[in-house]
Every structure is written in C-alpha cells, then in structure tokens.
C-alpha cells in the first residue's frame, strides 16, 4: 500500500468510524508505524494482524475507541498507562493522537518493548511516551508508578478479574480504567465485581459501539477507582492469572 492509498483509507475510516479528522502529520506517523510493524513482524512475531487495511481498522482505529466515546479533550494533560501493550496497542495510537497527554507503555516481553523503542527512536515527533519492560504485577507495586495514573487502558486478552488486579493498583483515586472488550462480556464483568471492589474500584458503565459493520460489536468497560488499593495487590507474579480474585 503506497502513502496516498494509506492516507485515503485511514482518513476516511477515522472520519466515518470515529468522527475524527486526521492531520497530514498524524497520517505520516501512522504510515511509518504500519510499515515498521509489517517489516519487524516478519522476524519478531508481534501481531497476527499484518495486512494494511486490517492494521488500520483493527489496530489503529480500534485503539482510538475511547476518543470516540469521551472525546479527545478528556485526555488532555492526563497521565496514562497501557498495561500489556504488545506492539503498542492501544497506547501508542492514543499517544500519537493525544500528544498533550503522557503515556507509559508496559509489557512483560522485552522484544515488544524493543520494537516500540526502535519506532520511537525513528519517529522523533512522538515525544510523550515512556516504555517499561516489566511484569504487570511488578509495575503495580513499583512506588514510581503505583497510584500515579489518571487513566489506565488495556487491550489484553485476560479476563476482567485478572486485568483488574493488574491495572487498578496503578490508578489514582478517582482515576478511570478503560478495558477494551467484545460486547458479549456481561457475564465476565459480573464475575469480576467482587475483585474490582476488593481492589478499590467500582464498575461504572459498558460503552458499546460498532467499529466495522461486518464485525462483532465492541465495548469499552469503564471502571472508576473509588478508594486506595490494599497494599498486598497486585500479588506476586503469576498469582493473579492462576488464582483470580473472587
């Protein structure tokens, strides 16, 4: 896909799916991101989504879902963590779009953080991103980061009860957690209610939306931090996944 084809595609999709305009400068950054991802994915196995049109929709547009719901102004000046970012999703597209917010992108696999750092080294316009190679449990217990964030996002595949333990310790009281899910997650949310409350959170609302007509409906699960997380959480690495809070 050449640049003109890419620009026409991503601009039209951001407009129709998110009701957002995309500047030429942002298009250039996303074009570089897409090509770098495709190039590195051949040797690093970063994502199963490797076709240009799918990357635009399922990575770039999907990552921007909270902007569709809350508006870009909601993120101005916020400190945001992305837990389990993988190849940078959703945190890096959000950082590109919200250059007046600060982001910390976390992943446990060094090769993924290396990929993001290499991209940031070549794309000097993206100045609002810090990376951290660490287990989510260690991230949440680190005094430099614990309860320091206004917003935490995660598009990880873990169930909500597990993600709650990874993410809520990072949030300030009154901060918001946004979990990217498919819309059929009501049972999963219900089973996580006790865990969310134990960790200092409160389920707020599930925001449902259509990304692409032919695909299942998506949602952002919004959870508010209403009190400090007890010091013993998150538990030691591996424990949340093996023995989720109930």
pLDDT tens digits, one per residue of 101-119: 999 999 999 999 999 999 9
Host domain of residue 172: 3-231
Say how far apart CA 244 and CA 246 lie, in whole Å: 6
Tell whether 246 is covered by a domain. Answer: no
| Share of residues in the chain with pLDDT > 70 (%) | 100
Tell whether 244 is covered by a domain. Answer: no
Tell whether 129 is covered by a domain. Answer: yes
Does the N-terminal peptide bond of residue 131 adopt cis geometry, omega within 30 degrees of 0? no
Tell whether 241 is covered by a domain. Answer: no
Does residue 210 register a pLDDT over 80?
A: yes
Are residues 244 and 165 in contact, defined by beta-carbon separation less than 8 angstroms?
Answer: yes
Mean pLDDT throughout 78-101?
97
Are residues 65 and 218 in contact, defined by beta-carbon separation less than 8 angstroms?
Answer: yes
Lowest mean pLDDT among 61-70, 107-116, 209-218: 209-218
Say how far apart CA 19 and CA 21 lie, in whole Å: 7
Tell whether 237 is covered by a domain. Answer: no
List, in sequence order, every residue forming a beta bridge with 152; answer none if it has no partner: 81, 177
Specify the pLDDT at position 187. Answer: 93
Please report, for the domain that includes residue 188, its CATH number: 3.40.50.150
Q: How far is CA 145 from the centre of its chain?
A: 17
Does residue 213 register a pLDDT over 80?
A: no
Mean pLDDT throughout 21-36?
96
Contacts with 92 (C-beta within 8 Å, 6 or more apart), sequence order:
33, 63, 82, 85, 103, 105, 116, 119, 126, 129
Tell whether 240 is covered by a domain. Answer: no
| Structural domains of the chain, count | 1
Does residue 246 register a pLDDT over 90?
A: no
Specify the pLDDT at position 73. Answer: 93
pLDDT tens digits, one per residue of 142-165: 999 999 999 999 998 799 999 999
Specify the pLDDT at position 217. Answer: 87
Specify the pLDDT at position 156. Answer: 81
Nearest by Cα to 240 from 151, 147, 135, 146:
135
Tell whether 236 is covered by a domain. Answer: no
Helix (H) or strand (E) holding 43: helix 24-44
Tell whether 161 is covered by a domain. Answer: yes
């Amino acid at each position: 896909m050449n640049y003109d084809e890419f620009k026409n595609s991503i601009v039209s999709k951001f407009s129709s799916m998110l009701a957002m305009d995309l500047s030429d400068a942002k298009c250039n950054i996303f074009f570089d991101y897409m090509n770098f991802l495709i190039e590195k994915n051949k040797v690093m196995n970063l994502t199963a989504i490797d076709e240009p049109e799918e990357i635009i929709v399922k990575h770039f547009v999907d990552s921007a879902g909270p902007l569709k719901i809350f508006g870009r102004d909601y993120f101005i000046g916020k400190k945001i963590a992305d837990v389990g970012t993988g190849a940078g999703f959703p945190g890096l597209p959000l950082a590109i779009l919200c250059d007046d917010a600060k982001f910390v992108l976390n992943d446990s696999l060094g090769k993924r953080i290396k990929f993001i750092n290499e991209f940031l080294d070549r794309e000097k316009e993206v100045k609002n991103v810090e990376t951290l190679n660490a287990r989510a449990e260690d991230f949440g217990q680190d005094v430099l980061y614990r309860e320091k964030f206004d917003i935490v996002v995660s598009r990880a595949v873990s169930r909500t009860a597990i993600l709650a333990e990874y993410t809520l310790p990072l949030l300030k009281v009154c901060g918001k957690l946004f979990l990217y899910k498919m819309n059929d997650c009501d049972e999963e949310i219900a089973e996580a209610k006790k865990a969310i409350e134990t960790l200092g959170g409160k389920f707020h609302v599930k925001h449902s939306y259509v990304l692409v007509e032919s695909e299942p409906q998506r949602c952002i699960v919004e959870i508010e931090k209403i009190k400090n997380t007890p010091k013993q959480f998150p538990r030691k690495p591996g424990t949340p996944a093996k023995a989720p809070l109930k």
